[in-house]
Chain A
Amino acid sequence: MMKQPNTQPVSEMMLRETASQTAGPYVHIGLALAAAGNPERDEEIWSEMAKPDATGEHIEIVGTVIDGNGDLVRDAFLEAWQADAEGHYQADYDLRKPFNSFGRTATIAEQGSEWSLKTIKPGAVAHPNGKLMAPHINLAIFARGVNIHLQTRLYFDDEVEANRECPVLSRVESDNRRQTLIAKREEADGITRYRFDIRLQGPGETIFFDF
């Protein structure tokens, strides 16, 4: 008797989640068409989360993804999810809007294996305990050799007070590890830019979350 897929109960009420597999080296074909060298469709989900008329402080975020050998990962694909300047998640993705809470990017070999996002600084979002979390961006990392995507948070180094009070960030006991979640501000060409390098393994390994 052949088993029906995806109908294996873990309790009488529940199905098992479909299992994850690596996005592989060619994830760009499906989710980052230009990075694969392929033509784009009319609308693509990509890295310009904020258009010039979006409300808030306009920022650029750049970074790399580094493996356990200290080498740059040249085929990583990332997804960002963040609140708007008022601290609200805008679920409705619509490219006609000035700002979208969701964005995608990839490390591009021709651009120094860096990823980048054009966005606005997110506002603070309330934690269920009532306190405010410091401004942050959720990042998911997919790549060849990554069997299930890694989830992290990017915080900002110029939010010293808010970072200290953040109910999530303050749960990290190790100061060294907490630093792996904090993007460093750099002023360049009149643009406010933050750098956030993600270390998958080894010294300075980024904190990854389970939720």
Chain B
Amino acid sequence: MQPKYNRFVTRDRNWHPPAYAPGYKTSVARSPQQALMSMQQPTASELTGPDFSHLRVGPYDNDLLMNFTQGEGLPQGERIILFGRVVDQFGKPVPHTLVEMWQANAGGRYRHKKDAYLAPLDPHFGGVGRCLTDDQGFYRFRTIKPGPYPWPNDVNSWRPAHIHVSVMGPSISSRLITQMYFEGDPLIPLCPIVQTLKDPEAVETMVGRLDMANSRPMDCLAYRFNIVVRGELQTFFENQ
């Protein structure tokens, strides 16, 4: 008797950016030319995935104001709460799933040995966070709003302010890495990486919304970013 696993809603590859998107120049030599091979019948290898509930996450792992210096000094920048809910395509919350994020500092500089942008490092800011969603699928980080930064694509390309967000979901089939942009940023429509998406509605799924109700007076603003991962289809019928 084989264990039964739920299938997932087919990933719409016209909704996601294509591998080859010449406006984003690095994709040109890094995009497969052959068609993807369809796994006609997904197996346990695709339908299962890691459960990180037992990963020992530190008390400041989701608090980027504190986690680099353990509170010895606060970073520069606009203090924000980044929060949201991870749900699947049927709206079902995804509890206890790992959400990870990384970002530049308020000046647009990353704490990475390869980043040499003019903006200085912030001695009080690392730029990494992680947490597990709660029983209802909610996650929460405290951080600063990252700055935009220039990058070598077109002669004068700038990334809109963004936070890189990674989520596992119920299986490796739902694995997703995206970037959250900030509502109203005029750099969003100019960005070659954003433009890898064909559908403006798909871009909307990556925009975090200012949420005044969840902001803290005299402390920090809040941005809400809900994440939708692939839906698990219930198995109604078996071949037999």
Chain B 7-19: CB-based contact to A (< 8 A → 1; otherwise 0): 0010111011111
A30 engages B102 (CB within 8 Å): yes
A20 engages B30 (CB within 8 Å): no
Chain A 14-33: CB-based contact to B (< 8 A → 1; otherwise 0): 11111111111111111101
Nearest 5 CB-CB pairings of A with B: A30-B102, A145-B26, A37-B113, A211-B39, A147-B17
Q: How far is the CA of A168 from the CA of B40 in the complex (A)?
A: 9
Q: Check B214 for interface membership: any CB of A closer than 8 A.
A: no
B45 engages A133 (CB within 8 Å): yes
Q: Check B44 for interface membership: any CB of A closer than 8 A.
A: yes
Q: Known: A36-B111, A93-B55. Is A125-B102 also a contact (CB below 8 A)?
A: no
Q: Is the interface of A mostly helix, strand, loop or mixed?
A: loop
* Chain A residues, CB < 8 A from B230: 17
Residues of B within 8 A of A (CB-CB), count: 93
Name the residue on B nearest A142 (C-beta).
B177
Q: How far is the CA of A200 from the CA of B114 in the complex (A)?
A: 23
B50 engages A91 (CB within 8 Å): yes
Q: Check A68 for interface membership: any CB of B closer than 8 A.
A: yes
B176 engages A18 (CB within 8 Å): yes
A210 engages B38 (CB within 8 Å): yes
* Chain A residues, CB < 8 A from B102: 26-27, 29-31
Name the residue on B nearest A96 (C-beta).
B54
A29 engages B110 (CB within 8 Å): yes
Q: Check B133 for interface membership: any CB of A closer than 8 A.
A: no
From the candidates A41, A149, A210, name the one contacting B39 in the complex (CB within 8 A).
A210
13 contacts between A and B (CB under 8 A): A5-B208, A15-B88, A18-B205, A18-B228, A22-B177, A26-B164, A29-B127, A30-B128, A68-B29, A89-B45, A145-B26, A206-B32, A208-B32
Chain A 35-73: CB-based contact to B (< 8 A → 1; otherwise 0): 011110111010000000000000000000001110101
Residues of A within 8 A of B (CB-CB), count: 85
Q: Known: A23-B164, A31-B166. Is A38-B128 also a contact (CB below 8 A)?
A: yes
Q: How far is the CA of A31 from the CA of B98 in the complex (A)?
A: 12
Most buried by B among A101, A143, A210: A210
* Chain B residues, CB < 8 A from A211: 38-39, 42, 46, 173
* Chain B nearest CB, measured from A84 CB (Å): 12
New contact pairs (17) apart from A150-B32, A201-B29, A211-B39, CB-CB < 8 Å:
A3-B204, A6-B87, A6-B205, A17-B12, A17-B229, A19-B178, A21-B164, A26-B102, A31-B100, A79-B172, A93-B52, A102-B49, A144-B30, A147-B18, A200-B32, A207-B34, A209-B37
A16 engages B202 (CB within 8 Å): yes
Q: B77-110: which residues lie under 8 A (CB-CB) from chain A?
A: 87-91, 100-102, 110
Name the residue on A nearest B91 (C-beta).
A15
Q: Check A128 for interface membership: any CB of B closer than 8 A.
A: yes
Q: How far is the CA of A27 from the CA of B21 in the complex (A)?
A: 20
Q: How far is the CA of A155 from the CA of B166 in the complex (A)?
A: 27
Q: How far is the CA of A44 from the CA of B32 in the complex (A)?
A: 31
From the candidates A3, A19, A73, name the one contacting B202 in the complex (CB within 8 A).
A19
* Chain A nearest CB, measured from B130 CB (Å): 8
* Chain B residues, CB < 8 A from A171: 37, 40
From the candidates A29, A136, A205, name the one contacting B45 in the complex (CB within 8 A).
A136
Q: Known: A27-B164, A147-B16. Is A102-B110 also a contact (CB below 8 A)?
A: no
Q: How far is the CA of A205 from the CA of B42 in the complex (A)?
A: 23
Q: Known: A17-B89, A140-B172, A148-B16. Is A26-B115 also a contact (CB below 8 A)?
A: yes
B15 engages A17 (CB within 8 Å): yes
